[in-house]
Structure 1
Amino acid sequence: MAFIDYYKILEIDKTATEAEIKKAYRKMARKYHPDLNPNDKIAEQKFKELNEANEVLSNAENRKKYDQHGENWQHAEEINKQQSQQREYSNAGGRYDNSQFGGQDYSDFFESVFGSGGSGRQRGGQRPFKGQDFNAELQLDLKDVFEENKRTLTVNGKNIRLTIPAGVENGQIIKIQGHGAEGQNGGPKGDLYITFSINNDANFKRAKENLYSTIDLDIYTAVLGGDITIPTFDGKVKLKVAPGTQNGTQVKLKGKGFPVYKKEGQYGDLYVSYNIAIPTHLTEKQTELFTELSKI
């Protein structure tokens, strides 16, 4: 397998910050996305390389291993262990006795464990390694996760159909087993980790399964009371306003919030705060009536 320079793939410097890596990946992923380049094999391959580069460099631990070991970064622990053992022998004034490795030179033994140049060829005594994990971000609107949702996600050139449970939260990560990179030497596939980025609706603020909204209430209804119709996430409802309602009063509508994640039929509550609107541009008659009220 030829060595791939992940920094070159993303067109960034080795000193790039996490934010710069993310920005570069998003920009280039949009450019080479299969949906925008149908039947373009070059764009498809480029998209795969971009995903692979992002999977490694966006993970601080993996990036450190890659910077140290290049194409063999997935075997960093084993490499460091063997190097540490070699240093211990050297510091003790000794040397490796290759008889303990069946007469092999140290380099031959090392190659039999890790393969030649990370090629992944099956060889006698070579250990299996789990494939690389993939990470992906899925952007949704709040309304998209109010009910169970089905989406197709393209990861490393492959389409994966997902069933997204209702109530998924912003920043939540789910794992899909076996949808990462191929394992090496007969090892299992890696996993796919999906991070949900959920844009909150402007009319509702979400806190886990509860929703919050602010409703403008005219001064007459606030003073005298009455019925109003307000929006909820699953339609409009009628709400009774008590006479003498004060600005900032909050009422709770039980069960009118967001679905509880993976608890079918359970919902949070909707908290409605009243913002009493003071009338402007009064007519002469309205001014006269307010003046009379003020004198009582």
Structure 2
Amino acid sequence: MTSLYEILEVETTATPSEIKKAYRKLALRYHPDKVTEEDREFAESKFKEISHAYEILIDEGKKEHYDTYGTTDQNGGAPGDFAGNPFDNFYGGGAGGEYGADDFYNFFNNMNGGGPSHSRQRPPNKTEDAEIDVEVTLEDLFKGKVIRTTSTRNIICTHCKGSGAKKSAVLKKCGVCEGEGHVRKIRRVGPGLVTQEYVTCSTCEGTGSIYRTKDRCKKCTGTKVIEETKILEFDIVKGSKSGDTIVLPKESDQFPGKETGDVKLTFTCKDHAVFTRKGDDLYAKFKIPLFDALCGFSQVVVKHLDGRGIKISTPPGKVIRPGDYIKIKNEGMPVKDAPKSWFGGSGAKRGDLYIEVDIEFPRDNWYLEKNDILKMKNLLPNELQSKHDIKKQTIDGDSLPEANIDTITEFTIAKADALPDYAEDKPAPEYNDDHYHEDAYGSAQPECQQQ
């Protein structure tokens, strides 16, 4: 990298007056207002370069720091023009001793996510990824869907091939980055500890070359890119889950010297009015009267995501109890990327469908005549079937004193969600150790507060 003394065309032993004289001479030569229009862009770059060199070398403190460490970064504390390891200057390249410069460098580089020493190379130069967020329905994820969208992006100019200049233009090496397209910066990672990183040169935009204004490409006007409009297609596979992302590689903006980024579409599923998805299974609710729960029913319970009606027929005498689910195998969501069968099929594995049955009991005083209760009592079992329950709930009459039985006729039905809150049902509070002390036997005791 060119030194500041070379930029000002002076020796390292130059006095302040010699540095001023050299700066005035070069500033007059490369001042943007003193050159023609076609040379102005190059002159601006050169003028910034010599102004920066003059600012450092004319300041006694900054000059001393630069002469000692070779960098203009006052926060660095280590050379800026090193080949790779900034700790070489502190530890003499690691010769001798239990730990050397490379040990310290690798430790701090790994701490910042660097990895082994080869990670010190300049990071990949890539354009930004384009991200799209869309909402889809559960039907879309069940049947699959293709989303098409119009994309307008920058592509490398087809006329100048990304140079930004005419074919006859004479390109000059960028004086700021010395034609490398990037510049090194020193970043402080701790007291007296630094690391280096590469950033794109803002003068040449990473190309390493500059040219005169009049030599700009007429098609892209020197921007090196032109707009392209196309239709992008994103294929949502059957069984995809909410939050999945589809990536179209290298469909983002292009720029000379940079790897093209990707276009990423992330889709989220809207809430469904009937179904709830859990993994690859589907859940739905269906309410039936007590009669159907006891005697069986045959009815369409849901309209599936593909438009089919799902009809359930329970055999007579099959009792559906509160809390029961009716499980229908292979009627859930398609399993994404299911393995293909041995016979060449595409694999049609699907989750299951669970119908949560909600039983509606009759209202109070549902009977028309008292005889209806007798009929129902004759039809339905009116004794417990478990001998264990019978024994547990049977109270021997001989154990009760005579006339010591209370008959309760006035009561209310309490719902589970309306029960009182009890202290023993709540989690124990977490106490601060400062409020407790141990007694002589080691058990924690609350300290008494002053009254």
Summarize the alignment of residues 1-296 of structure 1 with structure 2, pairs less than 5 Å apart: 87=73, 91-92=77-78, 96=81, 129-155=125-151, 158=229, 159-182=231-254, 184-231=255-302, 232-234=304-306, 235-241=308-314, 243-263=318-338, 264-280=347-363, 285=368, 289-290=372-373, 292-294=375-377
TM-aligned CA distance change 1:253 to 1:87, over 3 Å? same
AA in 2 matched with 1:249: D
Deviation at 1:274, TM superposition (A): 0.7
Tell me how far apart the structure 2 counterparts of residues 168 and 192 of structure 1 sit (CA, whole Å).
18
TM-score, length basis structure 2: 0.36
Identity %: 21
Deviations 1:70-116 (A, max 9, x none): xxxxxxxxxxxxxxx76499624x6759xxxxxxxxxxxxxxxxxxx
Distance 1:257 1:245, change over 3 A: same
Could you tell me how far apart the structure 2 residues matched to 1:193 and 1:128 are? Answer: 19
**2:336 is aligned with what amino acid?**
Y
- Give 1:70's aligned residue: none
Q: Is the 8 A contact 1:222 1:241 kept in 2?
A: no
Query: Which secondary structure does the structure 2 equivalent of 1:146 belong to?
Result: helix
1:22-49 CA-to-partner distances (Å, cap 9, x unmatched) read: xxxxxxxxxxxxxxxxxxxxxxxxxxxx
CA contact (8 A) 2:138 2:305 kept: no
Paired AA for residue 187 in structure 1: K
Q: CA deviation at 1:278?
A: 2.0
Residues 49-74 of structure 1, C-alpha deviation per residue, up to 9 Å, x if partnerless? xxxxxxxxxxxxxxxxxxxxxxxxxx
Contact 1:257–1:269 (Cα < 8 Å) also in 2: yes
Distance in 2 of aligned mates of 1:204 and 1:265: 21
RMSD of aligned alpha carbons? 3.2
The unaligned stretches of length 5 or more in structure 2 are 1-70, 83-121, 154-228, 339-346, 383-451
Residue by residue over 1:193-244, the C-alpha shift from the partner in whole angstroms, topping out at 9 and shown as x without a partner, is 2111111312110012110111111211111123232223331233233522
Secondary structure of 1:139's counterpart equals: strand
- Find the aligned partners of 1:128 and 1:95 in 2 and give their Cα distance: 21
CA contact (8 A) 2:234 2:265 kept: no
Name the amino acid aligned to 2:253: A
Ranges in structure 1 where 5+ consecutive residues have no aligned partner: 1-84, 98-125
Kept in 2, the 8 Å contact 1:86–1:96? The answer is: no
Q: Distance in 2 between matches of 1:165 and 1:188?
A: 28
Q: How many Å apart are 1:162 and its aligned residue?
A: 2.1
CA contact (8 A) 1:128 1:186 kept: no
- Whichever of the two has the greater Rg, that structure is 2
* Letter of the 1:130 counterpart: K
Measure how far apart 1:164 and its partner are.
1.6
The structure-2 alpha-carbon separation of the partners of 1:151 and 1:95, relative to structure 1 and needing over 3 Å to count, comes to closer
**In structure 1, C-alpha distance between the alignment counterparts of 2:326 and 2:80, rounded to whole Å:** 78
* Counterpart code for 1:224: C
Contact preservation (8 Å) 1:223, 1:244: yes
| 1:146/1:166 contact within 8 Å kept | yes
